[in-house]
């Protein structure tokens, strides 16, 4: 175009032609550039990640083809919100990320939820029950009902266990999970029948760990008729031997945080007769029993409801990917269409249909840890 022999009109036409060609090239390049392949992320505890791998393997076996999405799994040993945030930023930065199954608990899921909502990535929390998560945003889903349901359920169980009335010791983890569950539990508790003799928080994030001595001292001082544990397994695992020594077989009712497979398989005798709220009765349906059998065959050992919920979440996302929901927005619409524009997803945990806030309308069951049979 620098040729001086070209006339002015010719230069103008040539310039327009060149600009048109450039535009066509740009459009062509833009049109030819294939979008990144869909990616499925998972950020959770080791148990839940194992369930994720199990689901991917079963999907591969069932369909005989590679997974419709790449997968990125991030294991989180703790349920700290800070760790969850770091993992969420890593996952959100991966091109093609469609959905993330995680995180480990309510605090972690709640903290990371805004990262995913702002990135347009679907987040399915398998076991997060914090009520605030319902307001996290349109991309936030969970496989369990919120604490409003669990708090009431636990209160009903307490009422049944204590009959005419009694005292309870309420020990809770002082994070989003424990705080919200404590609040809903206390709200549902009948104060005329049940006296909260001890109401103590603990911090799982404390570098010094659980102050077992203090808690035991308090329990021995109050000697409640029932201990309500609104926290996770490690703290109770530290505390239980002391409880059994000083308070004997005082009834213990835990929240869903105790519904872990490792607890069932590797527990000590102090765990016997400990009750806890669970999302599912793993023996309540053919699908769940079959799932346990397959899990036992492939993975070995027992499997909890968290793994089953994680399994359903992963298989459900893979189904959505196969049906064309290869972006976060498409996946969000696909999930919201379940039970509306399309049938509920037939998970092993039951039909899955999310309400307008991304929650599942399910109830709880009480499970009791029975003494291990002698080999």
Partner 1 sequence: MTSRTPEGVDPGPGTVSLRVRLYAISLLLAGVGTLGFLVLLGVSLRAQGDLATATEAFMEEERIADAVTVHVMDQLATAFALRTAPEMELRDAFQESGRAAHGEVRRYLFRDLAPEERLQLETMAEAHQRMEVAGLRAADLFARGQVAEAEASWAAMLEHNRDFLAGMATFLQMRQRALDVLQTEQARTFRRVIGASVVLALLLLAMAGTLAWTVDRRMTRPLARLARASERFGSGEMDVRVPLWRDRELRQLASGFNRMADRLQETKAELESQNRELSQAMENLKRTQDELVQAEKLSALGRMSAGLAHELNNPLTSVIGYAQLLEERLGGERDPPGPDELRGEFLSPIVSEANRARQLVRNLLHFTRRAEAELKAVSVADAMDVVLGLHQGRFAEAGVVIRMEPLPEIPVLAEPSLLQAVFLNIVTNALDAIDPRGQGTLWIRGSSGSEEVRVVLEDDGPGLPDPERVFEPFYTTKPPGQGTGLGLSLVHRFMEHFGGGVEADHRPGGGARFTLTFRKAEKSIEAPATSGRAVGESRSAPPRAPSRAGDDPGEIPWILVLEDEAPIRELHGRLLTRLGVRPLLAESAASARELMDGAEELAAVLCDVRMPGETGLEFYRWLQGAHPGLAERLLFVTGDVGDPELLALLAERPDLFLHKPFSIEEYGQRVRALLDRGPVRPT
Q: Binding of partner 1 at residue 205 (CB under 8 A)? A: yes
Task: Point out which residues pair with 122 in neighbouring strands.
Answer: 99
- Compare residues 81 and 314 and give the one whose CB is closer to partner 1: 81
Q: Does 81 bind partner 1 (CB under 8 A)?
A: yes
Q: How far is the CB of 214 from partner 1 (least distance, A)?
A: 6
CB of residue 24 to partner 1, shortest distance in Å = 23
Q: Tell me the per-residue interface mask from 21 to 60 with partner 1, x by CB under 8 A, - otherwise.
A: ----------------------------------------
Please state the closest distance from residue 115 (CB atom) to partner 1, in A: 8
- DSSP 8-state class, residue 369: P
Query: Do the bridges between strand 345-347 and strand 350-352 make them parallel or antiparallel, or are there none, so unpaired?
Result: antiparallel
Q: Cα torsion for 37, 42, 43, 47, to the nearest 10°?
A: -150
Buried/exposed code over 74-100 (b: 16+ C-beta within 10 A; e: otherwise): bebeebbbebbbbbbeebbeeebbbbb
Pick from 119, 136, 155, 263: which binds partner 1 (CB under 8 A)? 136
Q: Which part of the chain contacts partner 1 (CB under 8 A), choosing from 31-39, 159-167, 201-209, 315-323? A: 201-209
Task: Quote the least distance from Cβ 10 to partner 1, whole Å.
Answer: 13
From CA 25, how far away is CA 18, in angstroms rounded?
Answer: 10
Between 142 and 179, CB nearer to partner 1: 179
CB nearer to partner 1: pick between 2 and 9: 9
Smallest CA-to-CA distance from 334 within 353, 310, 362, 311 is with 353
For the residues of 134-151, what is the DSSP string, one character each? Answer: GGS-TTEEESS--HHHHH
Q: Please, are residues 232 and 173 in contact by the beta-carbon 8 Å criterion?
A: yes
The site string for partner 1 over 83-102 (x = CB under 8 A, - otherwise) reads --xx--x-------------
Lookup: tokens for 327: 């972006």
Nearer to partner 1, 247 or 314 (CB): 247
Q: Where are the beta strands (DSSP E) in 61-108?
A: 70-75, 97-102
111 binds partner 1 (CB under 8 A): yes
Nearer to partner 1, 229 or 291 (CB): 229
13 is a site residue for partner 1 (CB under 8 A): no
Nearer CB in complex with partner 1: 177/334: 177
Tallying the residues shown for the chain, one arrives at: 375
- Residues 209-238 contacting partner 1, CB under 8 A: 211, 214, 217-218, 221
Check: CB of residue 102 under 8 Å from CB of residue 123.
yes
> 175 vs 312, which CB is nearer to partner 1?
175
Q: What character string, x for contact with partner 1 (CB under 8 A) and - otherwise, covers 149-188?
A: -------------------------xxx--x---x-----
Kindly list the distances between the CA atom of residue 127 and the CA atoms of 76, 103, 230, 242, 308, in Å, as whole numbers in the listed order.
15, 8, 14, 29, 10
**The two structure tokens encoding residue 198:** 């001890």
- Rounded Cα distance, 151 and 255, in Å: 9
Q: Round to whole Å and give the CA distance between 352 and 328.
A: 19
Of the pair 86, 287, the CB lying nearest partner 1 is at 86
**230/259 with CB nearer partner 1:** 230
121 contributes a contact to partner 1 by CB under 8 A: no
CA separation for the pair 185, 149 (Å, rounded) = 9
Look up tokens 């009903």; give the residue: 156
In the complex, the residues that contact partner 1 under the rule CB under 8 A are 80-82, 85-86, 89, 110-111, 113-115, 118, 132, 135-137, 174-176, 179, 183, 199-203, 205-206, 211, 214, 217-218, 221
């Amino acid at each position: 175009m620098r040729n001086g022999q070209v006339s002015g009109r010719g230069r103008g036409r040539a310039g327009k032609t060149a600009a048109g060609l450039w535009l066509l090239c740009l459009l062509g390049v833009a049109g030819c550039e294939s979008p990144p392949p869909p990616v499925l992320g998972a950020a959770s505890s080791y148990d839940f990640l194992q369930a994720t791998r199990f689901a991917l393997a079963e999907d591969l076996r069932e369909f005989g083809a590679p997974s419709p999405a790449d997968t990125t799994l991030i294991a989180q040993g703790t349920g700290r919100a800070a760790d969850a945030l770091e993992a969420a930023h890593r996952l959100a930065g991966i091109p093609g990320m469609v959905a993330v199954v995680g995180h480990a608990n309510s605090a972690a899921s709640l903290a990371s939820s805004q990262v995913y909502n702002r990135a347009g990535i679907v987040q399915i929390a398998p076991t997060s029950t914090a009520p605030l998560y319902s307001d996290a945003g349109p991309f936030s889903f969970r496989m369990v009902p919120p604490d409003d349901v669990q708090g009431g359920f636990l209160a009903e169980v307490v009422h049944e266990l204590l009959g005419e009335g009694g005292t309870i010791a309420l020990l809770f983890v002082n994070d989003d999970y424990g705080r919200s569950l404590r609040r809903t539990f206390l709200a549902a508790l009948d104060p005329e029948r049940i006296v909260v003799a001890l109401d103590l928080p603990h911090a799982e994030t404390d570098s010094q760990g659980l102050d077992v001595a203090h808690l035991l001292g308090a329990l021995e001082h109050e000697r409640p008729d029932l201990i309500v544990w609104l926290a996770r397994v490690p703290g109770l695992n530290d505390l239980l031997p002391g409880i059994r020594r000083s308070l004997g077989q005082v009834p213990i009712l835990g929240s869903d945080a105790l519904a872990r497979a490792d607890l069932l398989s590797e527990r000590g005798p102090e765990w016997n007769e400990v009750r806890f709220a669970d999302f599912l009765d793993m023996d309540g349906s053919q699908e769940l029993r079959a799932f346990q059998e397959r899990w036992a065959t492939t993975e070995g050992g027992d499997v909890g409801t968290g793994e089953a919920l994680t399994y359903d979440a992963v298989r459900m996302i893979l189904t959505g990917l196969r049906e064309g929901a290869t972006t976060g927005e498409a996946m969000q619409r696909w999930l919201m269409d379940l039970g509306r524009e399309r049938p509920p997803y037939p998970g092993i945990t039951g039909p899955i249909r999310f309400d307008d806030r991304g929650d599942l309308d399910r109830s709880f069951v009480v499970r009791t840890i029975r003494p291990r049979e002698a080999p």
